[in-house]
Structure 1
Amino acid sequence: MLKKMKKKAMLATIAAAMTLSLNTNVFAKQINTQPTSYQTVTQIEDWGAATTKVIVNVGKPIPKNSVTTDTFKVHVARSDQRLKKPFLGEGDRTITKAYVADKDGNPVVQTGKYVVLEMKIGPTDSLGSPLNYDWATTGFNDWVDMNYTITQQRDIETSAGTISGLVVDQFAGETRELVDDFSTGKGTYDNVSLSYADFSPKTDNHKNPLIIWLHGAGEGGTDPTIPISANKAANFASKDIQSKFDGAYVLAPQTPTFWMDGLKGFGDGTSKYENALMSLIKEYVANHKDVDTSRIYIGGDSNGGYMTMLMARDYTNYFAAAFPTCEALKDTLITDTQIQKMKDLPMWLIAAKTDPVVKTTDYIEPTYQRLVDAGAKNVHESLFDKVVDTSGLYKNADGTPYEYNGHWSWIYVYNNVPTDTINGKTTHIMEWLAAQTNPNTK
């Protein structure tokens, strides 16, 4: 019995020694990291803003191939402080790609202190949206609180040791692609204040046109980044669209309420913001001597399409062209005299037949036909059957392109989809727009 007990004790000692031997190196190589943090990256997609990636500062240099999509878990909680019950929801984001990067999120050649976690996004993925449309109370979109927690799931091996157990929840800032290329400002005219976002092209050796875009009903307020983010209006500053104009200024004014707030009633064919808007535009042009005053274009969607029609009607000779989208100025509010005046302004109207908000049979269709009948020689209409994804990335369950709300025809404009046959050639809306000049300017 004594011999057996001694033998067991010896075996236990040997086993313990072996375990200690095996684990000593691990314990010795476990390293501490400096304070960690994360940054978010937001892109503007067809349906609005989406947080596409987080850039995690892991606190120590790690090798290029030391992380995979399983290394971290990304959890987010969303809340909107405008609401009585701010909490919107929470959950884990799906990581689609992971790689070691520099502080700007660029993949490294050897080592880096940062890890980029790219995440799945989509038009129905609310967890990825840094915006919330508060339709019930304010009627506006706004940025929400996005609290991320990035939790390490697998060890990261480095030449200095092993990194494990990281929990990263310290927010270190956000990048909003394209949106950050805009400046913001505010102007007050006869006690009416309008905020705005604007983009300036690179300095060149020629004057540049000005694209004015008027937002929809959900983008009013006092944060001018909303009108270029809640839809895809920031895309007017993209390399692709800018190349069509050889560089263009972009001005996106914002009303504190709705462009359709009329002098007597909502959508009555007037706007209490019209004079202020024109004053803002003229002031902006005066302050930017590089603007080509013969190439000032105005467009807008829905509520902003309404305002575009008012500006085209009342300041016809000021603009080189107008491109109202799902415009909300009812045809019955446009007189024959106004049609005669507007027929000489180059115009491209866009909408979808499935629009549940602005019925095309009461708005774009009769107005377009009246312009044609009046002799308009440079008026175009893009009346789509419906609004669908054009990227090929998002599909319905049956494999067909994902279908958006029929009111969202602005998606086609931002992506330069509308076409017409002009002088025997298929021409896209942005190429057409860039070619228009105002004969009324000197």
Structure 2
Amino acid sequence: MNLRRGILLLVILGIFSTLFAEEGMSVRSVTLVTKVFPDVERVFAVVIEYPVEIDGQKLSPNQFVVRAKSGDTYSPRTITKVYANNTGEVSFSVFRNRGKYVILELDPWDPNAGTFIYGSPNVRAKLDYIVSQLVPILDVDGKEVEPFVSKQTGERHLIIDDFLAFTFKDAEKNIEIAYRLFVPKDVDANKKYPLVVFLHGGGERGTDNYIQLASNRGAVVWAEPRHQQVHPCFVLAPQCPPNSFWSLDTIRVVVNLIKKLKKEYNIDEKRIYVTGLFMGGAGTWTAIMEFPELFAAAIPICGGGDVNKVERIKDIPIWVFHAEDDPVVPVASSRILVKKLAEIGGKVRYTEYEKGFVLRYLKQLGWRTDNPGLEDWVPHSSWQPTYDNQEVIEWLFSQSK
């Protein structure tokens, strides 16, 4: 019965949409806005552009409906706030609550808010949203703006859209990789800036050159305005080719790419950092063990490496993270490396999240799922609290060769 009601509602709204379009009363665009949260990219707002300025003080969430397609059905998103402005940004001002853009803020922790389909590898879903204005609303002159129904006309991806997209063909190894590069704003030609290299996990291998930024905050966190304002830096996020991993060969390709970028941009050779998680955590260990002269510091997360090569990285500042109850990569993979480094006087720091910590952390943020089985996998995601930790950010940028 609920399915029938939903279909009937969509049909009725579709008829209304057609009628109003014939009268020339339609919106100009409906844009989904995404942001990378600690666990994954999520749709957290919709921006509707009208041909007239809307009185935001007369708006309320119950005037709109936002539905996201999941499988064969559309299910509702929770609208938490509605307002208007003339910038189209997801930013509310009580003093300027009017404009041609109406912003619908959504609960980012809705079960259908994510943009990923998890698998091997993970893929980004093709987003399919229906946005409806159910009743007339008022413009700033008090005139009614008629209802509409529309699918999204575009997407905007906060921070991700600030990364440039390239591919790099390594002549030495005959390997091509896609990569994203963030270039800090207002670069001073007379200054040099740090470079942060992020190595993604196993689920993000491919050639789409997007998913390595959207799967977690490992790359985008360094490019966020609040961090760029204090620590302007370049950010490199290569994407490991399909059916490959961060082996010595692919890490060598990344190193050759870094060398290329050093020639093209004013990168500070004394402040090149590397961090990664899961497969990228292991890749981080490989990178510093095989090319210790290149990196000023490293943050490997839930990874592992060759304990026989720790002597090579004795002088590199390393902050290691792992969860005690990681169900994918045994915590012993980090413990053994940390122990050996400590024994030889290495510059190692270790944070091990106690059993249950990562799950509690996510739930405190608002994470929820209708699939209880997913909770069993959460402890693997020790990168989520790590990249949210301001002390970690400050520690990395304080390191220099």
Scaled by the length of structure 1, the TM-score of the pair is 0.76
Instruction: Determine if the alignment matches structure 1 residue 199 to structure 2 residue 170.
Output: no
Residue in 2 aligned with 1:24?
none
Give the distance between the partners of 1:430 and 1:198, measured in 2 at CA: 19
Aligned pairs (5 A) from 1:156-171: 156-158=137-139, 159=141, 161-169=143-151, 171=152
**Which residue, out of 222, 231, 244, partners 1:236?**
222
**What's the counterpart of residue 247 of structure 1?**
232
Cα deviation digits, residues 248-305 of structure 1 (max 9, x gap) = 11111111136636xxxxxxxx4431321221121112211x1110111111101001
The one of 338, 360, 365 equivalent to 1:393 is 365
User: Shift of the alpha carbon at 1:326?
Assistant: 0.5
User: Which amino acid in 2 is paired with 1:349?
Assistant: V
CA contact (8 A) 1:34 1:60 kept: no
Verify: 1:208 aligned to 2:171, yes or no.
Answer: no
| C-alpha distance in 2 between matches for 1:357 and 1:403 | 10
Q: Which position in structure 2 is the counterpart of 1:9?
A: none
Structure 1 residues 353 and 259 mapped into 2: Cα distance closer, same or farther (>3 Å)? Answer: farther
Paired residue secondary structure (1:211) = strand
Q: Report if the CA contact (8 A) 1:70-1:154 is conserved.
A: no
Inter-partner Cα distance in structure 1 for 2:175 and 2:295: 23
Residue in structure 2 matched with residue 44 of structure 1 by the alignment: 36
Counterparts of 2:363 and 2:108 in 1: how far apart (Å)?
13
Pair 1:364-2:345 in alignment: no
1:175 matched to 2:175? no
Give the counterpart letter for 2:257 in structure 1. Answer: L
DSSP-derived class of the 2:298 partner: strand
Q: Tell me if 1:218 matches 2:203.
A: yes
Supply the distance in 2 between the matched residues of 1:305 and 1:395 (Cα, whole angstroms).
24
Would the aligned equivalents of 2:56 and 2:102 in 1 still touch at CA under 8 Å? Answer: no
- Give the equivalent residue in structure 2 for 1:410: 383
Distance 1:334 1:260 in 2: 19
Q: 1:287 aligns with which of 242, 256, 264?
A: 264
> Quick one: distance in 1 between partners of 2:72 and 2:279?
27
Do the aligned residues in 2 keep the contact of 1:211 with 1:296 (CA within 8 Å)?
yes
The residue that corresponds to 1:424 in the other structure is none
**How has the CA–CA distance of structure 1 residues 287 and 166 changed in structure 2, closer, same or farther, with 3 Å as cutoff?**
same
Q: 1:97 to 1:379 in 2, by over 3 A?
A: same
Look up the SS of the partner of 1:221 in the other structure. Answer: coil
What are structure 1's unaligned runs of at least 5 residues? Answer: 1-30, 79-86, 262-269, 418-427
CA displacement, residues 149-186 of structure 1 (integer Å, 9 cap, x when unaligned): 122222213446333332122x3321111111111111
Whichever residue aligns with residue 275 of structure 1, its letter is: R
CA distance in 2, matches of 1:339, 1:35: 61
| Secondary structure of 1:286 counterpart | helix
Question: 1:61 maps to which residue?
Answer: 53
**Deviation >4 Å, runs of 4+:** none
Give the deviation of 1:243 after TM superposition. Answer: 4.5
Q: Once superposed, what is the RMSD of the aligned Cα atoms? A: 2.5
Identical-pair percentage: 27
Counterpart AA for 2:366: Y
Amino acid at match of 1:412: P
The answer as to whether partners of 2:195 and 2:272 remain within 8 angstroms in 1 is yes
- Offset of residue 334 of structure 1: 2.9
Distance change >3 Å, CA 319–CA 92, structure 1 → 2? same
1:433 matched to 2:393? The reply is no
Say whether 1:276 aligns with 2:260. Answer: no
* Paired AA for residue 157 in structure 1: L
Q: How many Å separate the matches in 2 of 1:157 and 1:243? A: 39
User: Do the aligned partners of residues 223 and 45 (structure 1) sit closer, same or farther apart at CA in structure 2, a change above 3 Å counting?
Assistant: same
Q: Aligned partners of 2:176, 2:76: CA distance in 1, in Å?
A: 41
Whichever structure has more helix as a proportion of its residues is 2
Q: Quote the residue 2:274 is aligned against.
A: 298
Are the equivalent residues in 2 in contact too, given 1:217–1:258 (CA < 8 A)? no
Q: Where does residue 20 of structure 2 map in the other structure?
A: none
1:349 Cα offset (Å): 0.8
- In our comparison, the structure showing a higher alpha carbon Rg is 1
- The SS at the match of 2:281 is helix
CA–CA separation in structure 2 for the residues paired with 1:177 and 1:412: 20
Give the aligned partner of residue 91 of structure 1: 75
Which whole-Å CA distance do the structure 2 matches of 1:403 and 1:112 have between them? 46
- 1:62 CA drift (Å): 2.6
The yes-or-no answer on 1:120 pairing with 2:104 is no
Cα distance in 2 for partners of 1:348, 1:153 equals 52
Contact 2:34–2:157, Cα closer than 8 Å, also in 1: yes
How big is the shift at 1:394?
Answer: 1.9
For the structure 1 residues 99 and 68, does the alpha-carbon distance in structure 2 shift closer, same or farther, using more than 3 Å as the test?
same
Give the number of equivalent residue pairs: 362
Q: Does residue 154 of the first structure (1) align with residue 135 of the second (2)?
A: yes
Q: Report how far residue 148 of structure 1 moved.
A: 1.6
Q: Does 1:346 align with 2:317?
A: yes
Unaligned runs of 5+ in 2: 1-22, 370-374
Given the superposition, is the C-alpha separation of residues 334 and 148 from structure 1 closer, same or farther in structure 2, using an over 3 Å criterion? same
2:296 alignment partner in structure 1 = 320
Q: Is the 8 A contact 2:88 2:103 kept in 1?
A: no
